[in-house]
Structure 1
Amino acid sequence: MKKKLFIAGDSTAAQKSGEAKPETGWGEKFSCFLSSEIEVRNYAQNGRSTESFITEKRLDQIAKEIGPGDFLLIQFGHNDQKIDLPIGTMPYEDYQENLAQFVEVALAKNSFPLLLTSVTRRDNLPDGRLNPETLGDYPEAMIALGERLAVPVIDVYRLTQDYYQRLGMEETIKLHLHLSTGQHPNYPAGIADNTHFNDYGAHQIARIIAENIRLMEHPLSAYVRC
């Protein structure tokens, strides 16, 4: 029987509808880097924070399906930042409390939780540098929670910040949903989205995550193929 890998997260990881393409979540590409012994169940959804994911019973659904030896990847932050909305959370308060619920679900089923800090945005400062604070305190809050709970964390935020800096801001356009007027029927007026990925960008982010799992002492590393 295949082991299951669940992804809980927001739009940066989510499966996209045909109407949204070529926007692509990294979760759509993750199976490319895993052995055929793993079944990916991507529960990430557009616009969700830790708060709304739990409130909408999406975590409850994962709890019904996850079992011993399965894996739960947890990545939130982008929408938790929206503290002026009901979905928002404070990084060292309800954000950590909510993340702990995801961890508890996995551990209660004898499965393996893995926390992933948020992917960076392509966010330029006025001087052209990548904004090192574009996700605020949320990455550090997740890292602190992981240390407190003795749950492994991959600092995807730092990894993607470093990756973007190596590429340079012009090259990072190639990762994101940037289309000119008339280039794609789903976006007739064009789009310049510096948060969400195109097919190529999603593949690159999934690769970065998979490569770093492979380097960890984690049960999932045995199933990574990259």
Structure 2
Amino acid sequence: MSRMTVVTDTNRRHLLLGTAGALVTGVAGALGIPGDAFAAPSSTSARSAAATGTVYIASDSTAQSYSSGYYPQAGWGQKLSAYFTSNITVANRAIGGRSSRSFIEQGRLAAIHGVIRPGDYLFVQFGHNDATVGNAERYTPPADYKEYLRNDYIRATRALGATPVVVTPVSRRSYNASTGKFNVSFPAYVDAAKAVAREENAALVDLSAASRAYLDSIGAEASKAVFLWLAAGQYPNFPGGVQDDTHFQERGAVEMARLVSRAVAGLGLPLSGEVVSGAVR
């Protein structure tokens, strides 16, 4: 039985749609990453079922697809399809500079909801731009971010028969020399994403934890080859070089896409069976 609720938000109204029948139960454990990096609803039948359909990605510049004019800059979303069988299409709608709120306000989520179909998936990763306090267009307090995830990305997607997958914000190259570990990037947003996934029994990919574990394993210096650290004259598209601790060059995008797909393999969803074996290593 479905329910429909109208609530008021700043300068706009949300139509919140929820269907209890769309909820799945259980939680899958971690896949080789410390802590609760990967958690999701699970069932025996879901693990054995084949999946066909489309994975839509709603996210920011860390996931978006870049043209050849930006090479070697790349986002994990543009590399994700390599880790799924040909049964799965990846539609990367990630775009730079967007927060969970502005992605909605600009009609980008509505555009996805206009074409998403039962059996499809929506991967949602925000937090980087939500945290930009000085930018009124982007900034979204953690409490609001949590409710956007709950109402607009999780419940409204389920109401259309598709499956939302919450992805915590990928780590920045923020290294703590005193601990020898990478810092948690945007911890308030990481916590909010994990909490709402738990409360809504939604699939969760803790890319924050997975990416930090990977970066810890290679170290601060080697991580420059993951992020967009380029020497002057190294690439024609960046003639003056760049030292960017947020965005990825191709190697980093590939590694982050592998981590996402590796997590999906353990979610117990129909999609899990469509992850290629090379992703799980």
Q: Same fold (TM over 0.5)?
A: yes
Q: Does structure 2 conserve the Cα–Cα contact (< 8 Å) formed by 1:122 and 1:130?
A: no
2:201 corresponds in structure 1 to: 150
Q: Distance in 2 between matches of 1:19 and 1:130?
A: 34
Q: Which amino acid aligns with 1:77?
A: G
Q: Determine the structure 1 residue equivalent to 2:95.
A: 45
- Residue 169 of structure 1 aligns to a residue whose secondary structure is coil
User: Which residues in structure 2 correspond to 1:98-109 (within 5 Å)?
Assistant: 98-100=148-150, 101-109=152-160
- Distance in 2, Cα, partners of 1:128 & 1:182: 34
CA radius of gyration, larger in: 2
Question: Is 1:30 matched with 2:89?
Answer: no
Structure with more of its chain in strand, by fraction: 2
| More helix, by proportion | 1
| TM-score, structure 2 as length reference | 0.77
The alignment partner of 1:121 has SS state of: coil
The match for 1:202 among 249, 253, 257 is 253
CA RMSD of aligned residues (A): 1.5
Counterpart code for 1:138: Y
Q: Is 1:182 paired with 2:225?
A: no
Residue pair 2:176, 2:183 contacting (<8 A) in 1 also? no
- Unaligned stretches of 5+ residues in structure 1: none
Aligned partner letter, 2:85? S
Query: Percent identity between the aligned chains?
Result: 34
Letter of the 1:214 partner, please give it: A
Task: Judge conservation of contact 2:184–2:208 (CA < 8 Å) in 1.
Answer: no
Specify the SS of the correspondent of 1:19: helix
Q: Residues 14 and 26 of structure 1 are in contact (CA less than 8 Å); yes or no, is this contact kept in structure 2?
A: yes
Letter in 1 for 2:193: M
CA distance in 2: counterparts of 1:108 and 1:173, whole angstroms:
42
Residue number in structure 1 paired with 2:212? 161
- Cα distance in 1 for partners of 2:76, 2:225 equals 15
Specify every segment of 5 or more residues in structure 2 that has no aligned partner in the other structure, as ranges: 1-50
Map of 1:170 onto structure 2 = 221
Query: 3-state DSSP class of the match of 2:164?
Result: strand
Q: How far is the alpha carbon of 1:16 from its aligned partner?
A: 0.9
1:5-38 residue CA offsets vs partner (Å, 9 max, x unmatched) = 1000011100112322210000011000001011
2:276 maps to 225
CA contact (8 A) 1:27 1:206 kept: yes
Residue identity matched to 1:212: A
Name the counterpart of 1:4. 54
SS at match of 1:47: coil
Match of 1:83 in 2: 133
Structure 1's consecutive aligned runs of 4 or more residues displaced over 4 angstroms after TM superposition are none
In structure 1, the partner of 2:169 is 118
- Give the aligned residue type for 1:51: R
Number of equivalenced pairs: 225
